[in-house]
Amino acid sequence: MTSSFPASTVLGYPRIGPDRELKRALEAYWEGRSGRAELEETARRLRESTWRRLAALGLEGLPSNTFSYYDQVLDTAVLLGAVPERYRQDDDLATYFAMARGAEGLAPLRMTKWFDTNYHYIVPEIGPDTAFSLDAAKPLGEVREARALGLETRPVLVGPVTFLLLAQAEPGSPDGFAPLDRLDDVVEVYARLLAELAAEGVAWVQLDEPALVADRTPAELAAVEAAYGRLGRLENRPALLVAAYFGDLGDALPVLAGTPVEAVALDLVRGTAHGVEALAGKTVVAGVVSGRNVWRTDRDRALATLRAVRERAGRVAVSTSCSLLHVPYDVERETGLDPALRARLAFAEQKVAEVVELAGLLAAPGDLPGQPPAPAEDGQPAAPGRPQTSPPGSPSGSRPEGRASQGRAPYAVRAAAQAERLKLPLLPVTTIGSFPQTGELRRARAALAAGEIGEAEYESMVRAEIERVIALQERLGLDVLVHGEPERNDMVQYFAEHLDGFAVTRHGWVQSYGSRCTRPPILYGDVRRPEPITVRWARYAQSLTSKPVKGMLTGPVTIVAWSFVRDDLPLREVVFQVADAVREEVRDLEEAGIGVIQVDEPALRELVPLRRAEQAEYLEWAVEAYRWATSGASEHTQIHTHLCYSDADQILAAIDALDADVTSIESARSRGRVLGVVGGFSRGLGPGVYDIHSPRVPDADEVERLLSEALRTVPADRLWVNPDCGLKTRSYEQVEAALANVVEAASRLRRRHS
């Protein structure tokens, strides 16, 4: 007997804690400063306050099992018993964290981005012989814990198809094996779990299948049909909600419609209601409140969408477009924000209130089903994320058409001009920009923000740090130096703080991975650069050395990708506004005598649309924006770019089209793949030779080996020598040792090649 789906719900909620309580508890536990009991108590309290808060706000459908000590995909691997042998330890929590973070002599599982978000999940390893078994302790535990508080919940699980599509084949699996081959076995474990949840009296279970909003092969769609056909036909189970978010279900919609699941959640912010009639007879959980952005929902448009869906499909519940994991907790705490801006913002708390309000309006008397729906463009999303008032500044901004980039001189001309000016040796050694951020600097920045020290005192500390970093690089023998980025808290926030059109929050933390959070800036208006941002630091650094100092900028795509962005303008237009500002900064650096300028675009890959049909267009304008940002530089200025975590091999043509003189790419974890494809690359290239994500210091022999390997594909006169990424998170001790070995390896090879 199926109970009807609650009128209002959210697909998930932040879990790190409004004051990052979980982060602190995890780090204390990892460092041995606290025990398991304290960690568990913090976690329990966070779950309790979340459920109580959601209930107090009037939300009817409360999710559970949305808490995680690290990541929900890793939790699913544990749930299914898919724990690779090498990680197994006596203590279950030790096993869990070994997979997430590694252990003595054991590298962690791979981590990668969750669809097109800045959240990272742990990639499970599945092989032909992985022995699946049910470990239902976590979802059952959360159901019971909430029930003890008098609250009924809906456990949320990563669905079997998405889980297997996100997994990677265990190393050593036979050719042609794909984790999805194990679908039947995995579905049996889900079936057992559903039986246990039914026995526990659980009415509804949510299975997240965001993988269904990307292009799927007929075989994958058949897997969806098989999995949900099988689970749907179980005798003894809770009602099933399948949640597909971050876009349109497309071909997967009729497939799901044909299975016996009771409800389907649609993302009506990013996707459309296209084909929703097929879901008649099921409940449509309509995601009209954005889980990805921070603007208040346009109530009238959302209501029109809800009514249109109800008209076409019948039963509708109101929800968020996806989990609220991707937004901060509560905008009311941001007392430092301009009140006019704050009034336009909704974080997780406010979004829950919006869902509740919309559900009330939808059910209001005089608005019974059957009444003519309010006009909404057929099948179109209602774009509820639109700000209600237009942002300050001219909404038109400047037009991208005015920015047709003439491009720079041909590479051969540039290369000759730069060789003449920079006089670099063969295999030049450089770094990606940041040097270790000392506790002293972080404390000074906090003291400056709190008004405890003055601007002048802070500046002199930054200067002293630049002096130290330049002296160190000279002593080690690097060829292109950097100032070390000591003035930056973060490569995006720093620029946001210095550009008009951006606001930054105090408490707006969003989980990035594990205990790590970022505070994405809010891009709310037209972007302008009131004055040069980085020039004085670069100039100061250059005044200390006769070697070239590289100016360091973050690229327009990355600044936008790692911010919450106004949605009243096309994304492309916003990116071009940021590109204008970067272009001005490039010009000013050049005028200040800086001969090498790096514009980082580590997020280029992240914004690639999930659907192939939309990818070419995105890559075209993203590349054009980068070229606009950099093409004001003369042929004598060497432009570098840097990409990391980017699955660079997948977008190599676009990276090449950036037309940078030198490109550095993270490659410690994807070496073969990167080197396998860069043969066609026609300009300077620096595949990383030092994995900065690990405390390990590579010796000179190892670096030499990596460089020799690279020399098989990249000619010596185009190969650069650099770490994988910025050195910010490492210690000076590790960095000094590693860079000394990198320089040593480069000079050995230089001798052989000259």
Say how far apart CA 151 and CA 486 lie, in whole Å: 49
Say how far apart CA 174 and CA 711 lie, in whole Å: 31
Q: Least distance from C-beta 155 to Zn ion, angstroms?
A: 37
- Report the candidate in 668, 101, 738, 102 with the shortest Cα–Cα distance to residue 435: 738
Does 644 participate in binding ligand GLN (rule CB under 6 A)? yes
- Closer to Zn ion by CB, 621 or 645: give it: 645
Nearby residues of 598 by Cβ (< 8 Å), 6 or more positions away: 432, 433, 550, 551, 552, 553, 639, 640, 641, 642
Contacts from 37-44 at CB under 8 Å and sequence distance 24+?
A: 39/69, 42/17, 43/67, 43/69, 44/145
Please tell me the number of Cα atoms within 13 Å of 550 on its side-chain side.
Answer: 29
Does 642 participate in binding ligand GLN (rule CB under 6 A)? yes
Residue facing Zn ion at closest CB distance: 644
User: Which residue of 279, 352, 359, 432 would you call a contact of ligand GLN, by CB under 6 A?
Assistant: 432
| 640 contacts 664 by C-beta, under 8 angstroms | yes
| 599 contacts 629 by C-beta, under 8 angstroms | yes
Q: Least distance from C-beta 375 to Zn ion, angstroms?
A: 48
Q: Least distance from C-beta 639 to Zn ion, angstroms?
A: 17
491 binds, among ligand GLN, Zn ion, none (CB under 5 to 8 A by kind): ligand GLN
The residue range among 387-395, 614-622, 671-679, 720-728 that interacts with ligand GLN, by the rule CB under 6 A, is 720-728
- Closer to ligand GLN by CB, 434 or 663: give it: 434
User: Which residue of 728, 743, 745, 747 would you call a contact of ligand GLN, by CB under 6 A?
Assistant: 728
User: Which residue of 140, 345, 358, 491 would you call a contact of ligand GLN, by CB under 6 A?
Assistant: 491
For ligand GLN (CB under 6 A), the number of binding residues is 13
Say how far apart CA 681 and CA 674 lie, in whole Å: 11
Q: Least distance from C-beta 108 to Zn ion, angstroms?
A: 18
- Closer to Zn ion by CB, 211 or 432: give it: 432
Say how far apart CA 240 and CA 205 lie, in whole Å: 5
Does 434 participate in binding ligand GLN (rule CB under 6 A)? yes
Say how far apart CA 38 and CA 633 lie, in whole Å: 55
- Closer to ligand GLN by CB, 263 or 644: give it: 644
- Closer to ligand GLN by CB, 168 or 694: give it: 694
Q: Is 286 helix (H, G, I), strand (E, B) or coil?
A: strand
Q: Least distance from C-beta 326 to ligand GLN, angstroms?
A: 19
Q: Least distance from C-beta 434 to ligand GLN, angstroms?
A: 3
- Closer to ligand GLN by CB, 270 or 642: give it: 642
- Closer to Zn ion by CB, 577 or 641: give it: 641
* Residues labelled as active-site residues: 693
DSSP 732: H
433 binds, among ligand GLN, Zn ion, none (CB under 5 to 8 A by kind): ligand GLN
Count of CB atoms within 10 A of residue 341's CB? 18
User: Which residue of 164, 306, 725, 746 would you call a contact of Zn ion, by CB under 5 A?
Assistant: 725
Say how far apart CA 719 and CA 711 lie, in whole Å: 7
Please tell me the number of Cα atoms within 13 Å of 543 on its side-chain side.
Answer: 10
Does 473 participate in binding ligand GLN (rule CB under 6 A)? no
User: Which residue of 726, 738, 742, 749 would you call a contact of ligand GLN, by CB under 6 A?
Assistant: 726
Nearby residues of 620 by Cβ (< 8 Å), 6 or more positions away: none
Give the DSSP letter string of 601-651: -TTTTTTS-SSGGGHHHHHHHHHHHHHHHHTTS-TTSEEEEEE-SS-GGGG
- Closer to Zn ion by CB, 162 or 431: give it: 431
Does 552 participate in binding ligand GLN (rule CB under 6 A)? yes
- Closer to Zn ion by CB, 96 or 645: give it: 645
Q: Determine the residue type at 74.
A: L
| Paired tokens of 303 | 């209501």
Does 480 participate in binding ligand GLN (rule CB under 6 A)? no
552 binds, among Zn ion, ligand GLN, none (CB under 5 to 8 A by kind): ligand GLN
**Sign of CA pseudo-dihedral 46, 97, 443, 528:** negative
| Paired tokens of 596 | 């090498």
| 320 contacts 61 by C-beta, under 8 angstroms | no
Q: Least distance from C-beta 415 to Zn ion, angstroms?
A: 24
The residue range among 130-138, 344-352, 528-536, 722-730 that interacts with ligand GLN, by the rule CB under 6 A, is 722-730
- Closer to ligand GLN by CB, 71 or 600: give it: 600
**Euclidean distance between the first and the last CA atom of the chain, given in angstroms as a whole number:** 80
| 493 contacts 560 by C-beta, under 8 angstroms | no
Say how far apart CA 498 and CA 532 lie, in whole Å: 9
| Paired tokens of 109 | 């599982």
The residue range among 146-154, 372-380, 600-608, 618-626 that interacts with Zn ion, by the rule CB under 5 A, is 600-608
Mask of contacts with Zn ion, 620-659, x by CB under 5 A? ------------------------x---------------
Q: What is the dihedral of CA 465, 468, 474, 475, to 10 degrees?
A: -150
- The residues in 586-605 that bind ligand GLN, with binding defined as CB under 6 A, are 600, 602
The residue range among 119-127, 196-204, 426-434, 647-655 that interacts with ligand GLN, by the rule CB under 6 A, is 426-434
- Closer to ligand GLN by CB, 231 or 644: give it: 644
- Report the candidate in 512, 684, 685 with the shortest Cα–Cα distance to residue 606: 512
Q: Least distance from C-beta 484 to ligand GLN, angstroms?
A: 9
- The residues in 252-291 that bind ligand GLN, with binding defined as CB under 6 A, are none
- Report the candidate in 726, 42, 646 with the shortest Cα–Cα distance to residue 434: 726
Helix (H) or strand (E) holding 694: none
Residue facing ligand GLN at closest CB distance: 726
Question: Which stretches of the chain bind ligand GLN, using CB under 6 A?
Answer: 432-434, 485, 491, 552, 600, 602, 642, 644, 725-726, 728
Question: Which stretches of the chain bind Zn ion, using CB under 5 A?
Answer: 602, 644, 725
